[in-house]
Structures are given as C-alpha cells and as structure tokens.
Amino acid sequence: MSRATAPHRHARTEARRSRRALAVVLVVVLLVAAGGLGAAWWFQRSLDGNIERIGDPFAEIPAGSSPEVEAETEAVNLLVLGSDSRISAGDPSQWKAGAQRTDAIMLVHLPANRKSAQVVSIPRDSWVDVPGHGEAKINAAFSYGGPALMIQTVQELTGVKIDHFVVTDFESFTSMTDALDGVRIRVPEDIGDGKQVFFSKGVHMMSGEEALKYTRQRHGLANGDFGRVQRQQNWMRAILAKVNNNRNDVGMMTEFFTTVSRSVAADDGFTIDRMRNLYMSARGLSTNDVDFMTAPYSGTGRSDDGQSIVVLDRERFDPLMTAIAKDEAGSYVKEHTDDLEVLPATVK
C-alpha cells in the first residue's frame, strides 16, 4: 500500500539517472532510422558482432516460452532498460542479485500496420507487484531476478506480451551525440538552474556534453523530475530527426551505428537480421510518427515502509496498456492525447 501526494522532485540521485535514461532510444533508432544501412550488409554483420547477447530470458519465466519469430505484419513489443552496466560483460551466468540496477524502463510498441510507434517510459520508482517478492519499486525486479523477472513483472503489470529485451549502458552517450555532429534542440525560454547550467531561448546545436547538461538540469523545470523526463524524450526525438535527415551520410551513419551497437545487450532472438526485417517493414515511419509518453501517474508518495515512490494512475494506465496489447495504441493515443502524458511539440 502507498500514500499518494502531489508530484515532487527526487533530489538525491536523479542527476545521475537522467544521463542513464537517454540511451534507451537506441533500439527505436535502429528500427526506425537505419535506412542508410540497407546496402551495407557487411556493416550490419559487424554491428551484430558488437551487440552483447544475454541468452533467452523468456525461457526462465514460469509458464512462459521464447516468443516465436514475428511476421512482418505482426505487432512487436520491446522492453528496453537503461542500466549502469550491461549484463555482466556478456556473461549472464555471472548475474548476481542486487548487482545491477535499471534507471530507465521503456516499453516500445511497433504496431502491425507499421504506421506509428509508441514509446512509454515507466518511472523506475513505480510501486508495483514484483512476482515472488510482493510490492516494490519496479526497478527492483531487475535487481532481484535479472531480465527474466523484469520481463515477467512488466508483462503482469501491463498485460502486454514482450517480444524482445534490450539493455543499454551509458558511457557512450556523449560520443553518440558527437558522432552525429550534435543534435538540434529548441529551448523556448531562457532557463537556468541558479548555479552553472543556463540555456538561452532559441535553437541550439548541442554537443554531447551540452545535451548531457540539458537533460540533467533539474531546477527550474515544470513538474521537477517529470519535466526532466520530457527533456530526455525531447533529446531522443532530436536524435531520430538527425539520423533521418542524415541517413545518406555513410561516414556519419557508420560512426553512429558502431557506437550504438557497442552500447547494447539483447536477447539472442533480437539479431541484426531481425532488426533489419523490422526496419524494412517500418521504413515508411518518420520522426513525427513516434509517440513519446510517460506512463500515466497520479503523483508521488511514500510506501508503508517509507520509500519514496511514484504512484501509477491505473484509471489511465490500464486502458493505455490494453490498447497496446490489442495493437490499438496508435488510434488510442490520438483520441486520448489530452488524458495522457504525451511529449509536447515544445519542451521547456
């Protein structure tokens, strides 16, 4: 049980988390914006060798099994985590409970019609039921039982079947941004944190370090840390736009996707062939077709044992997840934009 209060800032560790939350867009980039790699098959093979493999976490889920390979016309759901490290340097047998944590959790939905994509950020402090462990923050599932328990927790929370699982690390954040020669981000008004971070009104071509400061800024933002989540998603949207606009620049794309592939660990079934097939089926998508949103929440609060938590708004959360499970998310988001935490066109 928990007690909800008005939204507030989690001050102590959020500056570190924001950096870690950024790289979760990598899978979306790989699926939506990899058009320039279609002819460079040899390069795609080299990328596959860079991706760490974590085995088959689906086989460890009770009464579960590995997902069948999806047809090009079927919906696909990815669970993407941002962690402080990938899975034990490629050796999942070395997993130790409590040794890894996740600071970003995203559900990525690619509908069967491939006309849109939905990316839902689930706050890491969301208070949920973790199978076999009772109520806890959702990111505790990753610490308690690794990828398998994390997948099981999200599936039981949302009712959405997960097809692939990806973990990213974050040391490469600035180099990914710099591989694109920076990203263009609009700041709607002068804003500073009262200390060292200040951004003037206007359009900025941000380097990796500048984008890092932009996403780590906490003071002065609407809704505190929830406002920073929107800045993180705004950066993701800027990355997608930059890749879409430069997909024919072979040198830039080579450097960028090499950096991306070295930052990813995935289940054995999510091969580069699988990524390529998904891209080919979704190659008509543009940046504007990707809906970024935060899972509906009613505020923050305290659990009965005193933990600071995020309280999900199940009256809004459950219908959204049902729409994703039924592959009706595209139309649902359009019809309920005002009721959801959808990323606006301009972010403060």
pLDDT in tens, 231-274: 878 888 888 888 878 877 888 888 888 887 777 788 888 887 78
The structural architecture, per CATH, of the domain 2-342 is: 3-Layer(aba) Sandwich (3.40)
pLDDT at 227: 77
Report CA 3 to chain centroid distance, whole Å: 27
Stretch among 19-23, 120-124, 190-194, 204-208 having the lowest mean pLDDT: 19-23
Average the pLDDT over 129-157 and give the result. Answer: 93
pLDDT at 321: 97
**By the 8 A CB rule, do 321 and 158 touch?**
yes
pLDDT at 43: 61
pLDDT at 16: 41
Stretch among 30-34, 81-85, 121-125, 342-346 having the lowest mean pLDDT: 30-34
pLDDT in tens, 75-100: 999 998 876 555 544 454 555 555 56
Instruction: Tell me the three-class secondary structure of the chain, residue by residue.
Output: CEEEECCCCCCCCHHHHHHHHHHHHHHHHHHHCCHHHCCCHHHHHHHHHHCEECCCHHHHCCCCCCCCCCCCCCCEEEEEEEECCCCHHHCHHHCCCCCCCEEEEEEEEECCCCCCEEEEECCCCEEEEECCCEEEECCHHHHHHHHHHHHHHHHHHHCCCCCEEEEECCCCHHHHHHHCCCEEEEECCCEECCCCCEECCEEEEECHHHHHHHHHCCCCCCCCHHHHHHHHHHHHHHHHHHHHHCCCCHHHHHHHHHHHHCCEEECCCCCHHHHHHHHHHCCCCCHHHEEEEECCEEEEEEECCCCEEEEECHHHHHHHHHHHHCCCHHHHHHHCHHHCEECCCCCC
pTM: 0.82
CA distance 321 to 338: 17
CA distance 39 to 48: 16
pLDDT in tens, 306-344: 999 999 999 999 999 999 999 999 999 999 999 999 988
Segments making up each domain of the chain, as ranges:
2-342
Percent of the chain with pLDDT over 70: 73
Average the pLDDT over 140-169 and give the result. Answer: 91
